[in-house]
Structure 1
Amino acid sequence: MTNSKILLIIGFVWPEPNSSAAGSRMLQLIEAFIGFGYHITFASACAKTDKAFDLKNIGVNTASIQLNNSSFDDFITDLNPHVVLFDRFMIEEQFGWLVAQHCPDAVRILDTEDLHFLRKGRQMALNAGKPFNDYYLYNDFTKREIASIYRCDLSLIISKEEMCILEGEFKIDSDLLLYIPFMLEAVDEEASEALPKFKERTHFITIGNFLHEPNYDAVQYLKETIWPLIRKQLSEVNLHIYGAYATQKVLQLHNVNEGFLIKGFAENVEDVMQNARVCLAPLRFGAGLKGKLIDAMQNGTACVMTSIAAEGMFNISETHDYVADDPQAFADMAVKLYQNEAEWEFYSKYGFNIINERFKKSDFQKILILKVEAITNQLQKHRHQNFIGQLLQHHTLQSTKYMSKWIEAKNRQNPS
């Protein structure tokens, strides 16, 4: 390529926008860079599934790469990108030192997706039956992810709550972080008016990729605790549960008599969301922004959620009448919203306002590209001010480098 703007994205997986919020997020980032003239190559060591988005249709080159294999050296040297985006910190751990070695002048960006250490710490606390506190916040994932953030020139943070944690609790320089939430098209009045109204909708819905542990836990929590409380008050109403990669342990939760219906992968999220009256999001741990709430709000479906689900989606000072962590309160809210047309209409429209005010695509696309260009133009100065990052780049990655080379040598001796 001769174009001066070459972006390499190294993906944890191939984007599946119909399966997960992470897939949608990745396509939003790709769209932003394409819009500002970048030539993009997306590479991953992961196998493609039949749900993977065809990136070639939007002009993105693709490449399959291998872990712990010197073929990546030739690949990245030939491509010679100006910007490299790592899809989650695990990818930066695996490939960051190679990018730094072969393309030292490339801007290194980490897309955290969400803070994995925050999600992991909350899961640990839940499993222990304890309140979440600093003991769970400062876990081994925290050390790895914070180190990755320091090694990169810029990290994209999807939630303002997570920005506060990184800047406040961990004192990370704001120059290394950029708040980029979901970047969405506005829902105009004509589109919102065309959506099905209260009386045209029936039943409850929840949706989420079952490979994502918070989603599976939420479905179990619904099955065992919340749904019986709702069903006791609304005996003829069903809960439709959608999500990609439903395993046998998910499918066995299906029970027609209880109105607990595992529907599996939703070919068209808009259709199933618009048919439902209320979306339930009883997440007990997690981080980032929740794609199921975005899907609901875009389609005019009112939501009941836990505080974990609501985090980062609404202004910190806002109170939301349909956020509850107590199961009985959650169930009562769900029943009220399902039965009260005026309340439902208010929160249906409230969702459109959130989409239009907080996730405006054009604004955040411009913010992202301007920041990347600013770092590109003063890269050495930017790195000089990040001494901890230099320190980690020098020392920590030496162990990663030599471990990778040892694995590569071992693989050559014992080919599978």
Structure 2
Amino acid sequence: MTIQKVLYLGYVWPEPNSSAAGSRTMEFLRLFRQQNWQVIFASAAALSPHRADLSALQIEEKQLTLNCDSFDAFVRDYQPDLVVFDRFFTEEQFAWRVERQVPNALRVLDTCDLHSLREARQQILKQRLQACHNERERQLILQAASDASLVYQQMCQNDVAQREIAAIYRCDLSLMISGVETALLHDAFAVPKYLLCENNLMLMPAPQVQTDFHQRQHFVSIGNFRHAPNWDAVLYLKQAVWPRLRAKMPDAQIHIYGSYPPPKAMALHQPEQGFHVRGWAEHAHQVMAAARVCLAPLRFGAGIKGKLADAMACGTPSVTTTIGAESMHGDMAWGGVIADQLEDFVGAAMMLATDEAQWQLAQQRGQQILQQHFDRTLASQNFIAAILQAREQQATRRLQNFTGAMLRHHSMKSTQYMSQWIQLKNQGITQITQTTQITQ
């Protein structure tokens, strides 16, 4: 069984300059085109002004309507050999239609990161914060949890984990970006290894001219404001880190960048305190390469953090948490400092900003991580090989995966009937509106 046509069902239109997920999607699309596979990217999301130019890759764009049989006709006419679902909620929305119209298509889920893990860590953080007696205690909490059993218990109590892992079982292959998440799914949730493909492929910036310590200035933080871990990190920077760091470095300045900043984020802009909220950065790698140190106090999250990969590529040492650096450096020393206590985080930021020798060492370590842990050529080859192997073994794998078949039968039927009910409801509203207009 070969692959000639690909349908990529996006939750959103890819924005490589806004998020690591957008960068990863673009890498996949480029690889598909390099195989000379025909690709259509389809999404029900509104068109974004920051989306990538897919026409440059000769990729057709298709705007979809949710809960509508028009998708059935489209996918039946196109007859894709490979369908990629961008995150589990896209699989929930469209997989039953794909299976009904093109049952022989290989179904692949790109998890981007394990949403249920991120949400579990967020809930644990909230519980820890609620147990605090005052603001000072709350500011000292820089980690959600390190106890794997506690995270597992929290995930089991959350229907997001049930939905996400069910989607993984229903697909022929799921793309994982984090080794921690792959191990969690296999060891704790008993997901068979053949259903998981661990690959940290993501779009890296071109190597920057490595300006030296004295040519750079200020701290920088960057991340999509719509992403909950990033917004929490900005608030933590403002409320906990910056007052302490500024007390030790009165002239310190930090510049906060990120796409889609809400008014509440821009309200944090206080130049007199050295805290600058800049919003969208048209050239994110340029602002990263101009900074001396990147600060990323991520208290919860999952997957690989694009901002920290960008920092290493731009030669910018970073201070982050264990969760921030998770699955990004193997057994190699971090390209900066990993700190899970507030005072350690502040001290590390000050040290990297003022100690040229330590700054240079951190920069070198970041380059080593990129070369050894993010080998783009090897990751690309392994990705295509995994897709082709899954296609070749598709029939056998589906026979082995009875759990997936069972979940498709039960879950997909309920999703199908709900979608059809919504479609009929929408049609009824449209007919009533049209009748009213004619009467008037």
TM-score (norm 1): 0.96
Residue of 410, 421, 426 corresponding to 1:395: 410
Corresponding residue number in structure 1 for 2:315: 300
Matched residue type, 1:235: P
- In the alignment, structure 1 segments of 5+ residues that lack a partner are none
Q: How far apart in 2 are the matches of 1:48 and 1:278? A: 34
Task: Say whether the 8 Å CA contact 2:8–2:83 is kept in structure 1.
Answer: yes
C-alpha spacing 1:337/1:319, structure 2 compared with 1 (3 Å): closer
Match status 1:136 vs 2:151:
no
Corresponding residue number in structure 2 for 1:115: 114
Q: How far apart in 2 are the matches of 1:45 and 1:263? A: 30
Match status 1:359 vs 2:374:
yes
Residue of 279, 282, 288 corresponding to 2:294: 279
Partner secondary structure for residue 294 of structure 2: strand
Corresponding residue number in structure 2 for 1:151: 170
Give the number of aligned pairs. Answer: 410
Q: How far apart in 1 are the matches of 2:204 and 2:117? A: 29
Corresponding residue number in structure 1 for 2:43: 44
Corresponding residue number in structure 1 for 2:93: 94
Corresponding residue number in structure 2 for 1:181: 200
Task: Say whether the 8 Å CA contact 1:183–1:364 is kept in structure 2.
Answer: no
Corresponding residue number in structure 2 for 1:55: 54
C-alpha spacing 1:171/1:316, structure 2 compared with 1 (3 Å): farther
In the TM superposition, what whole-angstrom CA distance separates every residue of 1:282-319 from its partner, at most 9, and x where no partner exists? 00010000011011011000000011101111115757
Moved more, 78-87 or 345-354: 345-354
Task: Say whether the 8 Å CA contact 1:300–1:348 is kept in structure 2.
Answer: yes
Task: Say whether the 8 Å CA contact 1:34–1:40 is kept in structure 2.
Answer: yes
Match status 1:264 vs 2:279:
yes
In the TM superposition, what whole-angstrom CA distance separates every residue of 1:219-241 from its partner, at most 9, and x where no partner exists? 00000001111111111110100
Match status 1:219 vs 2:234:
yes
In the TM superposition, what whole-angstrom CA distance separates every residue of 1:88-137 from its partner, at most 9, and x where no partner exists? 00000000111111110000000000000000001111111176413322
Q: How far apart in 2 are the matches of 1:106 and 1:196? A: 49
Task: Say whether the 8 Å CA contact 2:16–2:52 is kept in structure 1.
Answer: yes
CA apart distance, 1:371 = 1.5
Cα root mean square deviation, aligned:
1.6
Task: Say whether the 8 Å CA contact 2:171–2:404 is kept in structure 1.
Answer: yes
Q: How does 1:365-380 map to 2 (within 5 A)?
A: 365-380=380-395
Task: Say whether the 8 Å CA contact 2:15–2:51 is kept in structure 1.
Answer: yes
Q: How far apart in 2 are the matches of 1:153 and 1:377? A: 11
Q: How far apart in 1 are the matches of 2:335 and 2:367? A: 15
Matched residue type, 1:58: L
Q: How far apart in 2 are the matches of 1:157 and 1:376? A: 18
Matched residue type, 1:9: Y
Q: How does 1:273-352 map to 2 (within 5 A)?
A: 273-316=288-331, 322-352=337-367
Matched residue type, 1:47: A
CA apart distance, 1:367 = 1.0
Moved more, 253-262 or 135-144: 135-144
Match status 1:125 vs 2:124:
yes
Matched residue type, 1:356: Q
Q: How far apart in 1 are the matches of 2:241 and 2:26? A: 34
Moved more, 366-375 or 313-322: 313-322
CA apart distance, 1:281 = 0.7
In the TM superposition, what whole-angstrom CA distance separates every residue of 1:228-280 from its partner, at most 9, and x where no partner exists? 11111111110100000001000001101111100110100121011100000
Task: Say whether the 8 Å CA contact 1:281–1:309 is kept in structure 2.
Answer: yes
TM-score (norm 2): 0.90
Q: How far apart in 1 are the matches of 2:250 and 2:264? A: 25
In the TM superposition, what whole-angstrom CA distance separates every residue of 1:373-405 from its partner, at most 9, and x where no partner exists? 122122111110111001101111100000000
Corresponding residue number in structure 2 for 1:208: 223
Q: How far apart in 1 are the matches of 2:74 and 2:261? A: 36
Q: How far apart in 1 are the matches of 2:241 and 2:202? A: 32
Corresponding residue number in structure 1 for 2:212: 197
In the TM superposition, what whole-angstrom CA distance separates every residue of 1:302-339 from its partner, at most 9, and x where no partner exists? 00001110111111575776111111110001000111
CA apart distance, 1:175 = 0.2
Task: Say whether the 8 Å CA contact 2:3–2:82 is kept in structure 1.
Answer: no
Which runs of structure 1 show a deviation greater than 3 angstroms over 4 or more consecutive aligned residues?
183-187, 316-321
- In the alignment, structure 2 segments of 5+ residues that lack a partner are 130-143, 434-440
Q: How far apart in 2 are the matches of 1:11 and 1:185? A: 21
Moved more, 227-236 or 142-151: 227-236
Task: Say whether the 8 Å CA contact 1:114–1:287 is kept in structure 2.
Answer: yes
Corresponding residue number in structure 2 for 1:247: 262
Partner secondary structure for residue 315 of structure 2: coil
CA apart distance, 1:370 = 1.3
Task: Say whether the 8 Å CA contact 1:185–1:360 is kept in structure 2.
Answer: no
Task: Say whether the 8 Å CA contact 2:117–2:301 is kept in structure 1.
Answer: yes
Matched residue type, 2:103: P
Match status 1:67 vs 2:66:
yes
Partner secondary structure for residue 77 of structure 1: helix
Residue of 416, 427, 438 corresponding to 1:412: 427
Q: How far apart in 2 are the matches of 1:146 and 1:127? A: 24
Moved more, 128-137 or 368-377: 128-137
Corresponding residue number in structure 1 for 2:134: none
Matched residue type, 1:136: Q
Task: Say whether the 8 Å CA contact 1:183–1:365 is kept in structure 2.
Answer: no
Q: How far apart in 2 are the matches of 1:161 and 1:8? A: 29
Moved more, 340-349 or 375-384: 375-384
Corresponding residue number in structure 2 for 1:167: 186
CA apart distance, 1:356 = 1.3
In the TM superposition, what whole-angstrom CA distance separates every residue of 1:149-172 from its partner, at most 9, and x where no partner exists? 000000000011111111111111
